[in-house]
Structure 1
Amino acid sequence: MVSDLADLLAKVLPTGVEITVRHVSSTPTPCEALFAAAPGQASEPTFCENHFLSVSIDSKDEGEIIIFGMEVMVYNTAHLTTIFVSKADSTGLLYLLKLPRKVSVLRLVSNTFLSYLAQTRQRPGVRLVVSLFARAQNQYLFPGSIENAGKHVLDDRGLIKWWCRAVDPILREHEPESALQETKTMDQAVEAAKASATAYLIVPSCDRFETRNFFPPTTKSDAQDRPRWLNSYPLKQLCHDPSAPPRCLVPRFPDDPKTRFLLDLDGELPEQEEGQPAPPNDGRWRSVRSLEQFWEMMSFRQECSAGRLVGFLWLVINPPGLMNSTSMESRTRATETGQIPNGSDVPAATTEDKSRTDPSKTEALDTSAPSADAKPAAASIELPRDEASNDINPFDWPEAGRGHVVLSEADYKKMMDSVLDHFYDEKEVVASTKTYIDQVASLADELTWGKKVVGSNTASSDLPQPAEGNAGSNNVLDLRLIRKRKKSQGEGSTPAVNSQEPSGSSDTFPAPSQVAPVNVLNASLVRKKKKT
């Protein structure tokens, strides 16, 4: 049973930290497919729901102040769940909490919220991916927040590292991918019994060695034959047909640099007249002929080449019974035939799973809220019947993952468009925060909403603790390996510029404080080593 979001936050936040979290979500609605359909095929039915999490603190007697916000979109198809981080931003007023610099409250909140969504959205036998792109920018959600002197904006490299560290704890909640050696069959059996996960990162214009610098510090302790972070794109894990045209192999998210590139390239597609046979290169671009070339060309796009880097990150989570090495293509075929790779069956739906939706019993699902704190949305969703696959449906809406308030898609967009307007200074933030709270309460017909969170974590830092056996793993040079340089007459303890001495010689180098002329060795001074 997944804990409440507020309870999860209380466990990770430092003791004494008091915040108020407000989670708003929308009802799932049909949307355009993330992946373009291959020529001659229909688009995959897809549902999308929006989530917005705000974090606020009390400002003495003036009222609440928002310090952080994150917008996430959840896409569902029959065979894949995608959690996309759309926007995340701070108002620059986090300093009011007066926390130690080593405590990253915003990273703790981001990690916990994404972990919460991943846990509540994991469906039996269906792969889940957390996707985001890290692009440094002054402000995303809160206009004018850059004017706050307390706002610390990370540069491009720092932001990519920040997100990698925010996602890494979710990765560590799951087993690593099995090693590829045939002798590791026991590891594969363990992976099939438990959920596994692997993270993927692409930074256009950076090779695989440069990309490793963005990986979190925990990767240093990962086994080389079972890496948890990879510099690649999870093509086989996300796409049904890896041999399809490149335009069909990359997801299209809103306000995403690679989506804009995909749309520009689609202008190269040959026009097809109605009733005419498809051209030989149907669905293929003229300039970019492969997926590898697509990622290579991304480095020349304005978002990636204007003196800053952009990171594309995917965290692929495989449910029990499904291995990371199992391609989406073979997975789809196995599901359609009622069989699952490695001879295991999809776990039967539990009573809790059936609360998401049961299309065999109804064609319309009332979008009621999970508790008395949230108002039911005045809408119903028509569920498509899939006679070929009654076990897995593209619609998924578990109660555990819904917000404190559930709004219709139209009301959710109204909230995002008109509420978050001005965050120039503390007084402006107080007014904007109150407007936001009141408008959502009016849309949901609720007097109060949101939950108070009081941190209970006694640890002084959110940095991961060293694993057992690795305690004190700081690199300390063994004293036996230190070779002292002989002191010349009148020389103190000044270290040598070059600590390497010529083999077989006891001569010392001049100290840095001495003016050393250019030494030319006289041939008569050369002493040959006696033969033994």
Structure 2
Amino acid sequence: MATPKLADLLAEVLPQNIKLNVRHISTPPTPSDAIFSAPPGETPEATFCENHFFVASLNRFGNVDDEIAVLGIEVSIYTTDRLTIVFVSKADSTGYIHLVNKDAQPPSLRLIVTTFLSYLIRTHQRPGIRLVLSLFARAQNQYLFPGSVDNAQKHVLDDRGLIKWWCQTADPILREHTVESQDGGSKSLVDESIESVSSSATGYLLVPGCDKYETRAFFPATARSDDQKNPRWRVSYPLNQICIHPQAPPRCLVPRFPDDPKARFLVDLDGELSEGAIAGQWKSVKSLDEFWEMMAFRQECSAGRLVGFLWVVINPPGVLSSDKLSNQTQEAGTTDKVQNDALLSGTAAEAESDNRSLNHLQDDQPKPNTEVRGNTFFWPEAGRGEIVLCEKEYKSGNDELLEQDFETEELAMAGTMAWVRKIASLADVLWWGKPVTGKREISKTTTSSKTAAVTINSGLNVRKRKKDAEGDDTLHVEAKDEQAVSSNTTQAETESGSPEVNVLNASFIKKKKKT
């Protein structure tokens, strides 16, 4: 089955007649440092990384050169021969989404982010290889759009609301896949037969400083209807699902990403290692559980702020949740390693060459789906950006955006167009970008309801709903979408007599018009 285009998927979740321009940049996969530290005596695992940058903008006055960015998200995709990790690096909004159409409700930025991440996951899922969506929710005023914090229309989300928002964003992706079979030896033949023909997924969340009861409060509302004996969301770390050597020292069991709070803690702890250290063990932290407990005292996770670490583990058809990562593929031999090292060296040199077009990049890079030491190198054509740049040019384009100012509409418009033209220059094209017109019908009742516009910072910013009688300080995230989901779920339960929720992607659920 052909993979739908990103613009077509976005059109399905945008309200009818809402118009946005979307731009997607990516890089070819290039050799990267291993995500996990190798156990003592082991060689670091060969790893490739490709970067993706997505921006949605609107035309302020209907002209070609009057665009204002409303949303940006950066994602890094790491591949090894056993695992794919889709890591959300940064996400931010400018606060100008309310300008999209004065006569309609602003579109849900949450649904746009969900759709983009789902697209990357769908295009980068390899047969027989487990995939993990990974991110950390850390509240800040701005990430990608300098000066946007001074825009009065940008409503910054606090730490608790940010964690909830990311759980809501990841939940539709989780529910695109079936529930995993139960652990602990209680699997039935039916469970395993389902997983053998369908992909399965489970969400995991850790919030250092919060116990299991407190952490469950961050789960999306759909989790309440899940089978509590085999939940879709769990308060734990997916150790056996993402680590090749789960019995290795703790420093080898936690992934390290750029600008990652836990990665900085890992670096600090590595300072305790010495020549006399026993098998790579730290002196102060002896176990993985102790590592997560100590994270609560780190500067990023203390001082009245919470940081949420979230994973969605997706098992492709034929891979069970209990399957060890090391069992998914066979170890490569010495010959494969020699060939791999040679290919890594060549790819690194080619990725830094002065490429100016996608065709040129395709000629200089290994062909899509080329196997290096198993399935380490993977570059599906369907998942590439509209513009493909080498790492040096990609960074240059990002630097251009970070030099702009988005405090006012005029500055934001100038900054957006400066970035658009910079990328066009780097790619040697006259113009780029894909216009998207929404197709999703919204009922009059939903459209007329007054809700706060949603903007983001690292996980999106929203206005708070007034506390109810129980004092629940939950957040109002695009009520028009939440109401549609709730209405359809209630109807489905009434008709079927089953408490199970609708597992379709929430972006495709429509509310019926009143008759």
Q: Name the TM-score class by shorter chain.
A: 0.7 to 0.9
Aligned length: 436
Any idea what the Cα deviations from partners look like across 1:419-445, whole Å, max 9, x if unmatched? 332111111111111111111111111
- Determine the C-alpha separation between the residues in 2 that align with 1:403 and 1:209: 41
Hey, what does 2:207 align to over in structure 1? 203
1:375 Cα deviation (Å)?
Answer: 5.6
1:326 Cα deviation (Å)?
Answer: 1.4
Hey, what does 2:419 align to over in structure 1? 436
1:469 Cα deviation (Å)?
Answer: 3.9
Hey, what does 1:351 align to over in structure 2? none
**Secondary structure of 1:23 counterpart:** strand
Any idea what the Cα deviations from partners look like across 1:414-472, whole Å, max 9, x if unmatched? 11112332111111111111111111111111111110000101145322244354259
**Secondary structure of 1:307 counterpart:** coil
1:377 Cα deviation (Å)?
Answer: 3.0
Any idea what the Cα deviations from partners look like across 1:124-167, whole Å, max 9, x if unmatched? 11000010000111000111100100001100010000000001
**Secondary structure of 1:210 counterpart:** helix
1:405 Cα deviation (Å)?
Answer: 0.2
CA contact (8 A) 2:144 2:401 kept: no
**Secondary structure of 1:376 counterpart:** helix
For 1:227, which of 218, 224, 231 is the aligned residue? 231
- Determine the C-alpha separation between the residues in 1 that align with 2:397 and 2:310: 28
**Secondary structure of 2:269 counterpart:** helix
Q: Which amino acid aligns with 2:423?
A: V
- Determine the C-alpha separation between the residues in 1 that align with 2:232 and 2:182: 11
Asked if 1:331 corresponds to 2:328, the answer is yes
Comparing both chains, which one has the higher relative contact order based on Cα–Cα distances under 8 Å and sequence gaps of 6 or more? 2
Hey, what does 1:399 align to over in structure 2? 381
Any idea what the Cα deviations from partners look like across 1:105-131, whole Å, max 9, x if unmatched? 210110000000000000011000010
Which deviates more, 128-137 or 463-472? Answer: 463-472
Hey, what does 1:418 align to over in structure 2? 400
**What is the identity percentage for the equivalent residue pairs of Structure 1 and Structure 2?**
53
Listed as ranges, the gaps of 5+ residues in structure 1 are: 273-278, 339-357, 474-532
Hey, what does 1:192 align to over in structure 2? 196
**Secondary structure of 1:142 counterpart:** coil
1:26 Cα deviation (Å)?
Answer: 1.0
**Secondary structure of 2:305 counterpart:** coil
Normalising by structure 2, what TM-score?
Answer: 0.80
Any idea what the Cα deviations from partners look like across 1:88-120, whole Å, max 9, x if unmatched? 001111111257998662101100000000000
- Determine the C-alpha separation between the residues in 1 that align with 2:18 and 2:43: 51
Q: Which amino acid aligns with 2:398?
A: M
Flag the 1:394–1:199 CA change in 2: closer, same or farther, 3 A. Answer: same
CA contact (8 A) 1:379 1:408 kept: no
CA contact (8 A) 1:29 1:381 kept: no
Asked if 1:107 corresponds to 2:90, the answer is no
- Determine the C-alpha separation between the residues in 1 that align with 2:103 and 2:235: 33
CA contact (8 A) 1:378 1:408 kept: no
CA contact (8 A) 1:56 1:67 kept: yes
Asked if 1:118 corresponds to 2:124, the answer is no
1:93-492 → structure 2 map (5 Å cutoff): 93-98=96-101, 105-180=108-183, 182=186, 184-270=188-274, 272=275, 279=276, 281-332=278-329, 335-336=330-331, 374=358, 376-377=360-361, 380-381=364-365, 392-420=374-402, 421-459=404-442, 460=446, 461-463=480-482, 464-465=485-486, 466-467=488-489, 469-471=492-494
1:488-507 → structure 2 map (5 Å cutoff): none
Flag the 1:470–1:336 CA change in 2: closer, same or farther, 3 A. Answer: same
Q: Which amino acid aligns with 2:5?
A: D
| Root mean square deviation of aligned Cα | 2.8
Q: Which amino acid aligns with 1:254?
A: P
**Secondary structure of 1:24 counterpart:** strand
Any idea what the Cα deviations from partners look like across 1:297-351, whole Å, max 9, x if unmatched? 000001111101100000100010001121213335xx3499xxxxxxxxxxxxx
Hey, what does 1:56 align to over in structure 2? 57
CA contact (8 A) 1:375 1:405 kept: no
Q: Which amino acid aligns with 1:31?
A: S
Considering only CA atoms, is the larger Rg found in Structure 1 or Structure 2?
Answer: 1
- Determine the C-alpha separation between the residues in 2 that align with 1:228 and 1:436: 40
- Determine the C-alpha separation between the residues in 1 that align with 2:76 and 2:391: 12
Any idea what the Cα deviations from partners look like across 1:508-527, whole Å, max 9, x if unmatched? xxxxxxxxxxxxxxxxxxxx
Q: Which amino acid aligns with 1:304?
A: C
- Determine the C-alpha separation between the residues in 2 that align with 1:106 and 1:413: 25
Flag the 1:415–1:183 CA change in 2: closer, same or farther, 3 A. Answer: closer
CA contact (8 A) 2:273 2:281 kept: yes
Hey, what does 1:6 align to over in structure 2? 7
**Secondary structure of 1:312 counterpart:** strand
Q: Which amino acid aligns with 2:53?
A: F
CA contact (8 A) 1:14 1:456 kept: yes
Flag the 1:378–1:337 CA change in 2: closer, same or farther, 3 A. Answer: closer
CA contact (8 A) 1:203 1:311 kept: yes
**Secondary structure of 1:247 counterpart:** helix
More helix by share: 2
1:11 Cα deviation (Å)?
Answer: 0.5
1:193 Cα deviation (Å)?
Answer: 1.2
Flag the 1:391–1:191 CA change in 2: closer, same or farther, 3 A. Answer: farther
- Determine the C-alpha separation between the residues in 2 that align with 1:138 and 1:209: 28
CA contact (8 A) 1:174 1:196 kept: yes
CA contact (8 A) 1:104 1:462 kept: no
Which deviates more, 411-420 or 71-80? Answer: 411-420
Flag the 1:300–1:101 CA change in 2: closer, same or farther, 3 A. Answer: farther
- Determine the C-alpha separation between the residues in 2 that align with 1:426 and 1:445: 28
Flag the 1:243–1:414 CA change in 2: closer, same or farther, 3 A. Answer: same
1:290 Cα deviation (Å)?
Answer: 0.3
Flag the 1:285–1:104 CA change in 2: closer, same or farther, 3 A. Answer: farther
Q: Which amino acid aligns with 1:64?
A: E
**Secondary structure of 2:99 counterpart:** helix
**Secondary structure of 1:462 counterpart:** helix
1:212 Cα deviation (Å)?
Answer: 0.6
Hey, what does 1:32 align to over in structure 2? 33
- Determine the C-alpha separation between the residues in 1 that align with 2:326 and 2:7: 38
